[in-house]
Each structure stands twice: as structure tokens, then as C-alpha cells.
Structure 1
Amino acid sequence: MTDKPRDYCGIFGIQNHPDAALLTYYGLHSLQHRGQESAGITTSYFDEEEERWIMPTHRDFGLVLNVFDDQNIFKEELKGRAAIGHNRYSTSGASKNPANIQPFRVHYRKGNIAIGHNGNLANAKQLRDRFREEGVLFQSTSDTELILHLISHSQKDTQLEQVLEALEQVEGAYSLVMLTDDKLIAVRDPNGFRPLALGKVDGSYCVASETCAFDIIDAEYIRDVEPGEVLVMDQESDADSEPESYFLEPEHGTDTSQCIFEYVYFSRPDSKIFGENVDKVRRNLGKYLAKEHPIDEMLTKETKHKPIVISVPDSSNTAALGYVHENQKLGRECKFEIGLIRNHYVGRTFISPGQKQREQKVRTKFNTVQGVIEGRSVIIVDDSIVRGTTSRYLVDMIRKSNPAEVHFLVSSPPIISPCYYGMDFPTPEELMANRYDRNIDDMAEEIGVDSLCYLSPDGLVNAVKEANVSPKGYCTACFTEDYPVPVNFGVEKEANEII
């Protein structure tokens, strides 16, 4: 019952390291925010006695700490010097199917291959229909499985050639880690929708959705995997040899379109994605929010105290700091305060079937600091509003602490359309901006604030581009309905799960 969009997963891979599975475990732990329903790790090693390659996999529902709670898993089960790992979210119905837990692993005529995927294939329905006509049996409802079928059906001579041919047939968003018997392959789609970074630790290459997964294992960030790049690392790969690199052609002639929502909400502030620190970009979002909506233009009541700016923790913290800093720089009185406290020990086991239960869930996650809020003009900064339910409950809680007035600022534009490139959004009808036909005053009344202000689409793009000098472009489809890659809108999530 979250009121935020969800990213579908985090991925990690490492080649040629004696503790490959253990380092993958730590990497997944740092990427836990990208998927909290299930986790899995696959390794690869050559069994001298059996004279064949073995690819053990351990995966289950739950958080990383729960799935890998027995240290013997790393000593006895997940052997080998290469590993890939995956954290997962899913659509509600498909989340109950254990066959959808990644990494997926298969054995076919060219050997073993395992895959972990972050994204969503835009042409999944066409591919699935084609395979059904050919009599192919499916083990899951995930579009990730389609990539494995494309590889196994290829008539190319080598496994790498088969992988490259398969990737030429898929469209949409895909950052991938693939493990063959002797290779780690990392892929980012030509549009570069989802992030993927290359690092090295103890002379071994590793890849991850975000660089925070490198920090926990003391790995060095080298660079991003480029849009359209296929990196191949074999067992001989080390820090002295560059991985092999191949490039895929852009789809439909479109330009790079990196997901701008990664900066707004998904990624951890201590990560570097798309070539720039997330914290720096979020502070810049707050700066542009102050330019478009200066604090003194919102206030309507005289109080004996300075107006305070509070964030909805934790993803909005740095945007709120950027907003305060820019206002202070321009001589406008305000200060940042901790007015909302977040309980970090709330699990995902709360059942919230009705309004009262949903409200209680918000109260288990947040609480107000009355002494900070009482009698003050309060400006709440949040990164986004989806349905508006959580925002309304938060404002109700803050009102009970007797502020002089309450204003709500959003460091992104109104969300008006679903994402088809790897984020889980409500239907268009559930989005608050659509329910009120984007009427800001009506939306402000819905969540119970004196005023509601959003960062404009241009302000969002300009803020990101000012903070990140990379010339690459960004996808803003959820704010603008401008989809850079054509999507089959007849796809139903239950029948064709996004991963």
C-alpha cells in the first residue's frame, strides 16, 4: 500500500574473486531499497571430480538478511569465483510465484547461463506471443525469461554471439547481469534507462545498480556501463586488463533517455548514478524549487518564529536542505528542522486493507515532533506525490501539532502517467494529479494544506542537467507522457510481469 513508485530490482555481479558470493551478498544488502520481496545469488565453478561446470543458486522470498541467514550457504553451497545477485520487487499477483525469483538459471546446449534483470521489455508481449506459437513452455511470468529463450534459440556459434543476437531483438529498459560458465556479462540498454556501474575490488571487476554497493565492499568505482554497452569479463579478467566491450544499436533511432526519477527518489543519496552523485542532484532540485517557489511568496501568517522547512524522510532530506540553503542565500528567512521522525524498523508485514488500517500504517512509520512544529509556519518538502493518501495522513498528523500554517512542496512535477521501463506505478486513474485534472488548488484541498507547489518539468530537467554536466538525455515520461521507446500498451502486468 505504498504511496511511492517502486523500482523493480537491484543487480550485482563480480568475476574472479575468491569470496564472490559473500561480496555479492553485501552488495545486495546495500541495494535492498531497490527490491524487498525476494533475493537470490547464483555462482559458477568447475567441478574437477565431475569434470563439468556447476552453477548453484540460492534464492527465496524475503530481505537479503533473511534469505542468506546461514553463513554455511557461502561456504558449502555458493562456491566459485564468479557470482551475480538480484533483489526484487514485482506486481502483486506475480510476487507470490517462486518461479519469478531471480537470478534465473538454465542449462542448454552451450552450457549454463543465469540472468538478473532490472527494467521492463517494451516488446515483451510480441516476443511471448511468438514463442507461444512455436510451442515454447514458460516457467515464469517474467519478461526476463524471454531473454533466455532468445539466447537458447539462437543458431550462432558461440554463447557470446547468441547473447548479442538475443539483445538485438529486445526493446525497452534492461540493465542485466549474466553469468555463463566462465564469463560475467553486464549489459545496459541503448537508451540507458536504468543505472549500472563498473567497479573493481582486490583486482577483480564488479558491477552494480548503484555505487553504494561498491562502498560496502571497499570497491573502487571505475565508470558507468555506457548506454548500449555489453561488457564481457572472463576468468582471466583482472584490474590490469580491460573487459571486452561491444555496443548495441539504439532502438528506433532514439537518444539516451536515463530515468530521471532515479535522481528524484529511487537511488540512495550516497550513490553515484549516471555519472553524478545523487545527493548533489537532489540539493539542486531543492535549489530550483526555491527559485520557482520562494518561501516568502507562500507564507500568509505572521509568527514570532522563523518559518521552518521539514522533509519527509529519508528521500527528501537533501532536496529540503537545498531549498533552505537557496532561500537563505537570497536573504529569505527560514531554517531546516527535523519535524518528522521515521521509524526504520517497520517491516513489510503490515496488512492494510482499509482506510483506517492504511492510516495506522503511516503512523507506524512516521511521527511528528510537536515542539518543533507548534506555532510555526511549516513547509513540507517531499520528492513526489502519487495517490496522495500518505501525504494527506502526514498533513493530518502535522496539523494535530498546531502549526500556524502548512504548505507542501514537491521536488518533482505532478506524476500523470505510468512508467513502462521498470518502475511500478498505479494506474493513471489512481494518480492524484489525474483525479483532479491537474488542478493544484483542488489537490491542495485534498491533502489538507494551505498551498501545494510542484517543481516544473523544465525546472526538473534543468536542475539535473546543471548538477550533472553529462550530455546524455533523460526520460521524463511519468511527468510528461513523452515515451522515448514505443510500448505495447496492451500488456497486462499480471500476465507479463515487469522485473
Structure 2
Amino acid sequence: MKIPITAFEKEPLKDHCGIVAAFSTDDYPFFETGLKGLRILQTRGYDGAGFCAITKFGKTKTYKGIGMVNEVFSDGKRKNFASFPAQQWVYQVRYGTQGIVNDANVQPVLLKHRDGDWFCVAHNGQFAKDRNKREEKLSDTVLFAQELARSREASWDERIVTLLQSKRGAWSLVIATKNGLYLARDPLGIRPLTYGHLIDKKSGELIFCVASETGALEQMGVTDFFEMLPGTIARYNDQGLHILHQDKPHQTALCVFENIYIQHGAGRAHLPRKGNRQINRSPTIDDVRRKSGKILAREAPIKKSDADIIIGVPGTGIEGGMSFARAVNIPYFQAITDIWDEPYEQRTFMSAKISDIYQKVLDHFHFDAASLKDRSVVLVDDSIVRGNITKGLVYLLKKFYNVHAVHLRILCPPIDKPCHLGVNTRSAKELIAARLSGNIEKISKALGANSLAFLSVSGLKEAMYTPKNKNGFCTGCMSGEQYPINEFGEPLAHRRKKATQIFLYDNVTNPAPILL
């Protein structure tokens, strides 16, 4: 798997994982099909990958390791599993939000229950901390699986429902047991979870498939999608899907960063919905990004006299960039593109030396020098986290490619708070908006930009919602916002919000200096 350079800028914003799972009536060689879905979810996790399979008679096979999907599952390894038939399959790619990165924390987690039955867990999110327990080196998922292994309830239904109802925080998870495949999503619906069916053309086998995103389901051959609604616990077995618990309709807190950066562009957007089939009529992630670009152009337009071309930063900035360009009627040109090198060191951009960043950006971006020379450009990107990549781009455009001015337009509000609900922001000091107290002028100058504007929170919600569900999101990591619950899962008091804030700094006549 080749990683886009923008992934390194988001290093402090790491989603916990991506999940794929499947259940068939009889043992079935699903390995390669599941791997197709897992590759689509690679951007959700680079720390590790793995799978677990359980046959109809309880035999297990598992393999996992540190690294990306194609590193863990090389051609040689894949041959060992391609023909293995099993009834249940669970896959995961991981980025740790709790616990250190090691083999013990790579999922899926396969354990034996105290009664002797094997079970397997894969989890996306982050369980709330316990005030009465010390920090653990093991991940929250491993600790959850250990609790489940010690549970004393008579049936798997009772064990899983009882344990989950005692938990707080964020979870979308699957659990494979001898009794069937269990699915669950936390009451706030913070992380996504979707499912559907596919039919094997040769054997006619009906296979129930689960994934974090619809893009992964589609890659596996599923064409009709269902959503696991918030606060639901269900079991799938030979008799179909059984709902074991479902909360009454209530206020959700879906993570908006799923739509900004985390999810694959072709997948369905992460939105509040009342019915599990409505996801089929939802806009795609790219639709949301395009609408964000249009709204950003309305909130923070730029004059034709101030910019010659618009450039979407490769990856998740392109769709929004093209939309922004159409709205301001300035030509769009992809004058910056990715250079794909493999093998690729995914943590290169964690270097503390900003001087190293410039060389790495040169090594991994291609710049169309002829199109950039003597131009004023607008860079459109999905977000700014630490700011290192953005700063490197601005510096190189001005220093090496003779760009007169660089204006930054960002498709989400400033991110100034760590997340404790499944996205790994280690500390506020790593976030440029937090370090500079949310001062847009200071951020712009630190990045070397001539102007800087972020999409407002209301503008972001407008890009995603209909009026009926505008309050169903979590925007806690963003300037002026707050989380629905704290790190211990305790509800936070509602705070009256200020009027809509536009995050804009424009210093065209006195360009910000390039800071080394």
C-alpha cells in the first residue's frame, strides 16, 4: 500500500481502525474477498493489520502483524490462507488510541472464554477510561476482550449485552463466537458501521458482510447497504440478523472528521439517520467535500486579481479544491501531484526538524514548475493539524518555484483539541491551532501564507446535513466547540455557543514572512 503524503500531516489525527467481517452458513474461502475490503480501509490504520477465521466446528486460524496490509499479507503469506474455508471472518487495520504499538495490541483479538469457547474481537473507537484504574500498556480493545473472557453469564447474548451496557465512550465493533457474529455501535454513533449481503456467483453461497465504510463493502461485491444504527447490539447467524438491544431514538454525536479526512471518498457520508436503509440515498464523502469547497468560497472568497490558479492538495483536498475554483471562477490546475515511492516510511514527517520536512516534500510531491512560476495560487486542503506539511509546501512554492503568493483555504475549522473518542491526537501542543491559541493571523504567518481561511463550524455542518439532523455531530476537536462526553464517558454540560465564527486572515498587501 502506498501512502499519500498528506497522511503524514495527519499523523497526530489517527483513527483507531478499520473493520471488515463476514459470516456464511457453511465454511467458505473468504480470505481474498475480505482482504479487498481491508485495503480500502488502509488509511484508517497503518500500525498493524490482521485477520481471524473460525470454522463451523470451532477451528481457528489467525495471522496479524505490525505494518500495512500489503506488508503484513505479502504474496507468500496470502497463499497460506487463500483456500482456507471458515464460517466467520474478522479483519482489522489499526492505529492505536490507547496502549503502545506491539503485536499484543494488533487486532483482531482472539481469546478463549472461561467456558472454553474461542471468540474474536475487532473494535473501532475508544472505550472511556476508568477513574479507578491505572493506565495500561494493553489497548482498550484487549482489555475489553479480557473482560468478556471472564464474564459469567450463561449465553453469548447475555455476556455481550451486559458488558457493553456497562461501557461508555466510542465503539463500533464485531465479535465472532460459536453462537454467531455480533455487531455493536455505541449510543452516540461516533464511529460508522455498515453491512450487507453478497452472493458468490459460483457456489451461490449467501455471505453476510460488515465493514467500517460502504466503500469496503462495495469493493467486496455488496451493492445494497445497511447501517448499524447507534445504540444497537445485534447477532447474525444461520437464522439471519437478530436485534438484541436497540436504544430509543436520541441525540447522536457522529464524528465529523470521518467526512473531512478519514473515510474513502467514494463511500457514503457519516450522517445521522433514522432508518438503516437510508444510507443508500446518502451523499458520498466526495459530495460533502465538494459542497464544503463551495461554502468555503462563499465564506472566504478570493478575488481574481489575487490568484491565478486554484490547487487542491493531493488526496482529500482535490474535490473541495475543484469546487472552490468553480465557485470563485478561477481556473483549477493540478500543479502539485503525488510521487508514489515504495517502500514508504510512513513516519518520515514526524521529524522535529522543519528543515527535514522541506526535503521530504520535494521528494514526494511533483511540482509543475512551468505552471507555477510567477503565479499567485490558492492551496485548498481538507485540514491543518500540525502544519508541517502545509508550511513545507508554502515555503517550497515561494522559494523554489517562484510563486508570488500562496493563499490557504481549509475545508474544516481549526483543530485545537485532542480527541478521546477514537482519533489519536496525542496532545494539544502538537496542534498548530492550539499552540497559537487559535489566532488565525499568527497561524497564517507561521505557515508563511499570504492569507488563510478555515471553513466555519456552521459551514461544515451545512455541507453535511439537512435541517433535521444538523445537531447530530461531534465537533469537539474544533475551535469553540466541546465534546459530548469527557474521557471517562461522563456527559459534559451543554455550553451556549457563540455566533458563527469565520476563521479568516487576509494580508495580501503585506505578505507573511517565510519562517525557517
Q: When the two structures are superposed, what TM-score results if normalisation uses the length of structure 2?
A: 0.82
Q: 1:21 aligns with which of 31, 52, 55?
A: 31
The amino acid across from 1:22 in the alignment is E
Give the C-alpha shift of residue 461 in structure 1.
1.3
Are the equivalent residues in 2 in contact too, given 1:55–1:181 (CA < 8 A)?
A: no
- Match of residue 113 from structure 1: 119
Aligned AA for 2:290?
R
Q: Determine the structure 2 residue equivalent to 1:30.
A: 40
Higher mean Cα deviation, 209-218 or 255-264? Answer: 209-218
CA positional deviation for 1:36 = 1.5
Q: Secondary structure at the match of 1:294?
A: coil
Taking the aligned partners of 1:447 and 1:75, their CA distance within structure 2 comes to 49
Q: How does 1:251-400 map to 2 (within 5 A)?
A: 255-274=251-270, 275=279, 276=282, 277-296=284-303, 301=306, 307-327=308-328, 333-345=329-341, 347-348=344-345, 351=348, 352=351, 354-399=353-398, 400=400
Match of 1:428 in 2: 428
Residues 1:67 and 2:67 aligned together: no
Verify the 8 A CA contact 1:13 1:83 in the aligned structure 2: yes
Q: Distance in 2 between matches of 1:469 and 1:18?
A: 43
1:229 aligns to 2:232 (yes or no):
yes
Cross-structure match for 2:448: 448
Flag the 1:62–1:170 CA change in 2: closer, same or farther, 3 A.
same
Contact 1:15 1:204 in 2 (8 A): yes
Distance 1:435 1:109 in 2: 49
Distance across 2 between alignment mates of 1:426 and 1:386: 12
Q: Is the 8 A contact 2:21 2:90 kept in 1?
A: yes
Whether 2:166 is the aligned partner of 1:169: answer: yes
Instruction: Classify the secondary structure of the residue corresponding to 2:463.
Output: helix
Which AA in structure 1 matches 2:95?
Answer: Y
User: What residue in structure 2 maps to residue 457 of structure 1?
Assistant: 457
Which residue does the alignment assign to 2:496?
A: none
Contact kept in structure 1, 2:195 and 2:217, CA below 8 Å: no
Kindly indicate whether the alpha-carbon contact (under 8 Å) linking 1:3 and 1:390 is maintained by their aligned counterparts in 2: yes
Q: Deviations over 1:392-428 (max 9, x none)?
A: 1010121122223210000100111111111111411
Deviations 1:407-450 (A, max 9, x none): 00001001111111111114112221122222211111111111
**Distance in 1 (alpha carbons) for counterparts of 2:269 and 2:118:** 31
* Compared CA separation, residues 320 and 225, structure 1 to 2 (3 A): same
CA distance in 2, matches of 1:456, 1:161: 45
> Which SS does the other structure have where 2:148 is aligned?
helix
Q: Deviations over 1:30-75 (max 9, x none)?
A: 111111121110011145xxxxx22221111122122222233214
User: Which amino acid is 1:397 matched to?
Assistant: L
State the 1:254 CA deviation: 7.0
> Structure 1: how far apart are the matches of 2:72 and 2:476?
35
Match of residue 210 from structure 2 = 207
Q: Does 2:79 correspond to 1:83?
A: no
Which shows bigger deviation, 399-408 or 253-262?
A: 253-262
CA pair 118-452 structure 1, distance change in 2 beyond 3 A: same
- CA drift at 1:489: 9.9
Q: Which amino acid aligns with 1:120?
A: Q
Say yes or no: does 1:144 pair with 2:141: yes
**Which ranges of 4 or more aligned residues in structure 1 deviate by more than 6 Å?**
none
Structure 2 CA distance for partners of 1:128 and 1:186, relative to 1, 3 Å: farther
Task: For 1:100 and 1:57, locate their aligned partners in 2 and report how far apart those are by CA, in whole Å.
Answer: 14
CA 1:221–1:470: 2 relative to 1, 3 Å: farther
What is the rounded CA distance, in whole Å, between the counterparts of 1:428 and 1:308 in structure 2? 34
Percent of pairs with identical residues: 29
Q: Name 2:498's counterpart in structure 1.
A: none
Question: Do structure 1's residue 409 and structure 2's residue 409 form an aligned pair?
Answer: yes
CA distance, structure 1, for counterparts of residue 269 and residue 227 of structure 2 = 8
Q: Which of 187, 196, 216 matches 2:193? A: 196
Deviations 1:254-275 (A, max 9, x none): 7201100111111111111333
Partners of 1:469 and 1:489 in 2: how far apart? Answer: 26
Q: Residue type matched to 1:59 in 2? A: K
Secondary structure of 1:109's match?
A: coil
SS at match of 1:334: coil
In the alignment, structure 1 residue 55 sits paired with structure 2 residue 60: yes
Structure 1 pair 371/8, CA: closer, same or farther in 2 (3 Å)? same
1:471 CA drift (Å) = 6.5
**Using the alignment, how far apart are the partners of 2:148 and 2:158 within structure 1?**
9
Q: Helix, strand or coil: the match of 2:453?
A: strand
Is the CA contact (8 Å cut-off) linking 1:416 and 1:481 kept in structure 2?
A: no
The Cα RMSD (Å) is 2.5
Q: Is the 8 A contact 2:168 2:489 kept in 1?
A: no
Deviation of residue 249 (structure 1)?
Answer: 4.3
CA deviation after TM superposition for structure 1 residue 158, in Å: 0.5
Task: Say if 2:479 is the partner of 1:474.
Answer: no
The separation in 2 between residues aligned to 1:367 and 1:270, in whole angstroms, is: 25
Number of the residue aligned with 2:53? 43
Q: CA deviation at 1:350?
A: 6.0
What are the superposed Cα offsets for residues 228-257 of structure 1, whole Å, 9 maximum, x if unpaired?
A: 1122111x15xxx4x11133548xx97201
Q: Distance in 2 between matches of 1:350 and 1:191?
A: 32
Alignment partner of 1:230: what SS? strand
Secondary structure in 2 matching 1:102: coil
Give the Cα separation in 2 of the matches to 1:350 and 1:470: 38
Gap change, CA 1:426 and 1:142, over 3 Å in 2: closer
1:361-384 deviation digits (Å, cap 9, x = unpaired): 222222321122222221110111
SS of residue in 2 equivalent to 1:141? coil
CA–CA separation in structure 2 for the residues paired with 1:254 and 1:201: 32
Change (3 A) 1:484 1:100: same
TM-score (norm 1): 0.85
Q: Per the alignment, do residues 92 and 367 of structure 1 end up closer, same or farther by CA in structure 2, a change over 3 Å counting?
A: farther
Q: Using CA pairs under 8 Å that are at least 6 residues apart, name the structure with larger relative contact order, 1 or 2.
A: 1
Unaligned residue ranges in structure 2 (runs of 5+): 1-6, 200-205, 271-278, 491-516
**Counterparts in 2 of 1:366 and 1:92: CA distance versus 1, 3 Å:** farther
Number of positions where the alignment pairs a residue of Structure 1 with one of Structure 2: 455
